[in-house]
Amino acid sequence: MLPPPATCYAALQARDPAYDGRFFTAVKTTGIYCRPVCPARTPKPENCLFLPSAAAAEAAGYRACKRCRPEAAPGSPAALGSAASVRRALRLIDGGALDGEQAGEAPPLQALAGKLGVGDRQVRRLFARHLGVSPVAVAQARRLALAASLIDAGQMPMAQVAAEAGFGSIRRFNEVFAAVHGESPAARRKRTTGASPMHLILSRIASPVAEILLVTDEQGRLRALDFHDFEERLHRLLARHYGSFTLAEGPAPAAILAALDAYFGGDLRALDAIPIETGGTAFQRDVWAALRRIPAGATTSYGALAASLGKPGAARAVGLANGLNPIGIVVPCHRVIGASGALTGYAGGIERKRWLLAHEGAALV
């Protein structure tokens, strides 16, 4: 609905972004139409004609301003392929726009597309172009993240958790949660709220590549390894994989220290003897186990690693699991490179990845 002329003119004078897309100003003396946020000098009120859409302005014979590009304002055709539309869609999804359907209402994706002023196929194309995932996948990730936080926060009944997170049924909630997290919602609650916190020990050791953070458990098994400048990330991964935990600084097990010293001294197979224990889903653990089977001095690609697991189409999922590996160096995700031979990304930094591969004698392009 078009605001009253006085409101429009006040918004035009203030260049109020809250009104961007809600009306357009056609200037009678220039034949040009603009957005309320246009940086050009504000025309006199008697020369302004306020219109509800860019299409209405063009139908009235006005030309689009080249400074504010009103044809690309929110909700206009030229904006549909822009990142701005995706950002607006994400805000709507975050507000629950794709949560469960209600009887008599349009399907959620159709309703979201209607709010954006486009078709649902166009929404899918925008998400594929800008995010590489579907809007439904984004909404599901949001619901699962909310569900996980509600589970961890207390004793809210699971049916209420499912409803609060936007799932249409408890059965669907259980299926999706287990498929993504590798455990049922009930198992997560038992792990994060019903059990005593896991007691872990943090040690700091020097190495030729950087100061290293080691996290071990009371049984002397390695739980995490990261570089000193990624301590915050290390805490996040521990929370993700183990839920409730305590972390106290202390000495590392002598056997692990000896193995790392031997590795940096040139005995590249010394890492194979380090006992590890990880959380994660079954698929993630399979990927991390496969990483330990890559011999020092060799490299592989995400696609080849996926094929070795019997999942040749899962290269992207392997890459995601690789990025969530909590035990750097010992679980050697640095030995996975691009299919072209390029080093690609590494959570600890490309230069450290290059150093580790060179130390192991890998052939680099």
CA pair distance 91, 40, nearest whole angstrom: 29
* H or E stretch at 249: strand 245-249
Taking a C-beta distance cutoff of 8 angstroms, is the pair 243, 191 a contact? yes
CA pair distance 227, 351, nearest whole angstrom: 13
Name the catalytic one among 8, 34, 68, 333: 333
Active site residue 68: no
CA pair distance 242, 200, nearest whole angstrom: 11
Q: Strand pairing of 212-217 and 24-27?
A: unpaired
CA pair distance 213, 228, nearest whole angstrom: 6
DSSP, collapsed to helix, strand or coil, labels residue 218 as: coil
Residue 119 CB contacts under 8 Å (≥ 6 apart), including other chains: 113
Structure tokens at 23: 């009306």
- Chain length of the chain: 365
CA pair distance 47, 243, nearest whole angstrom: 63
**For the chain, percent helix, then strand, then coil, each to nearest 5?**
50, 15, 40
Cα atoms in the Cβ-side hemisphere of radius 13 Å centred on 244? 14
Catalytic annotation, residues? 333
